[in-house]
Amino acid sequence: MHPDSSFAVLEAIDVVIDRQWSTLGAPGLWMTGEERTEIVRIARSRQAPVDADDPAAAAASLAAHRAATITADTVDELESRGVRREHYVEIVGVVSRVAAIETFDRGIGRPARPAPPPLPGVPSRHVVAAAKRRAGWVPTVDAISPPTALQAVPPEAAAQEALHGALYLSYPGMADLAAVRGLSRAQMELVAARVSYLNDCFF
Amino acid sequence: MLRASAHATGQAIDLRAITDRATDPLIDAGIGLLAFVTALIGGDPSDLDNARTALRDAAGPDAVVRAAAVAGNFQMMNRIVDATGVPIGPSMRAIAADLGLEAADLA
């Protein structure tokens, strides 16, 4: 822990991120624990392959390090190489959570975490019947939006929501434009806007 | 959300600060927050140490933790939005000019 960090604030965040980090290597819907830990490794690597023979590795590298360059054609091509859209959604969920947790740790001056261990088990390959392609590139149950983008893989959508609530605001809490949470809402949004700008993301 | 939250609390804001480091955002500790985030997202580790110390001195240790947390959240959300093709709505396109962005920059 950074010596100047507030223990109470950190504790509330750590409850969520420690649990999420420790289970990144658990089997998902479309990947084994070993496959997910390989996705984590690629997400953490500064020398990640861009044109890997393994399309799942290529997807992870793109989502982790060059997400702003991904297009509908990219996702189509990955699908043609065997990465079905739900599998792709799980990859995006894993790499995006790695980015969140590592950014937080680095921000408060914490050393990098040990890699999460792969856990035994088999992917459930559960298909969410109500998830369909809509305006975006992946199937969703509701109209695609930031909170619904991972709905085709419910555990990833739930993890995204929990992390969003711990690090920023709950989805319902976002309606409170005068919220104060260590920072004023305007200060939080200034941080958010600068991060998005630096990532070439207009979100 | 930045402009809306500033309006909700009567806070003045200069949105150009998001893209132009020479502009003061007019928000408390805003310059320190921008320096911290810039160093955190791909900056030099020594720059980050200095920016963290400056932000802590200006706004307190909770501000450092919260700024790191919010930055982490948007690292996640940016990747999700960009990788899944979430469309950009009309309201977001409308503020592009305030940020000095061209329409072609928007996916």
**Does B96 or A130 have the greater pLDDT score?**
A130
B26 interfaces chain A, CB cutoff of 8 Å: no
Cβ of residue B12 closer than 8 Å to a chain A Cβ: no
Using the beta-carbon criterion (under 8 Å), do B38 and A194 form an inter-chain contact? yes
Question: How far is the C-alpha of A141 from the C-alpha of A132, rounded, in Å?
Answer: 6
Of B1, B38, B62, the CB nearest to A198: B38
CA-based nearest distance B31→chain A, Å: 10
Separation CA B73–CA A200 (nearest Å): 16
Residues B26-43: pLDDT tens digits? 999 999 999 999 999 988
Number of domains in chain B: 1
Q: Say whether pLDDT at A4 is over 50.
A: no
- Cβ contact B80–A146 (<8 Å): yes
What pTM does this model have? 0.92
Nearest to A100 among B42, B59, B72 (CB): B72
Task: Read off the pLDDT of residues A139-155 as tens digits, 9 standing for 90 and up.
Answer: 999 999 999 999 999 99
pLDDT at B107: 44
Distance CA A67, CA A74 (A): 11
- For residue B104, count CB atoms less than 10 angstroms from its CB and return exposed for 0-12, middle for 13-18, buried for 19 or more: exposed
ipTM over 0.85: yes
Is the pLDDT score of A1 beyond 50? no
Read off the pLDDT of residues A17-57 as tens digits, 9 standing for 90 and up. 999 999 999 999 999 999 999 999 999 997 766 667 899 99
Nearest CA in chain A to B96: A202
* A73 touching chain B per CB within 8 A: no
Residues from chain B that touch A177, judged by Cβ atoms under 8 A, are 1, 4-5, 7-9
Contact criterion met (CB < 8 Å) for A196 and B86: no
Q: For residue A114, which amino acid is it?
A: P
| Any B CB within 8 A of A76 CB | no
Cβ neighbours for A141, distance < 8 A, ≥ 6 positions apart: A128, A130, A131, A132, A148, A151, A152
What's the mean pLDDT when you consider all of chain B?
A: 86
Domain that holds residue B80: 2-106
Instruction: Please name the residues in contact with B66: beta carbons below 8 A apart, sequence gap of 6 or more.
Output: A9, A181, A182, A183, A188
Best of B20, B75, B93 to mutate (most A CBs within 10 Å, chain A): B75
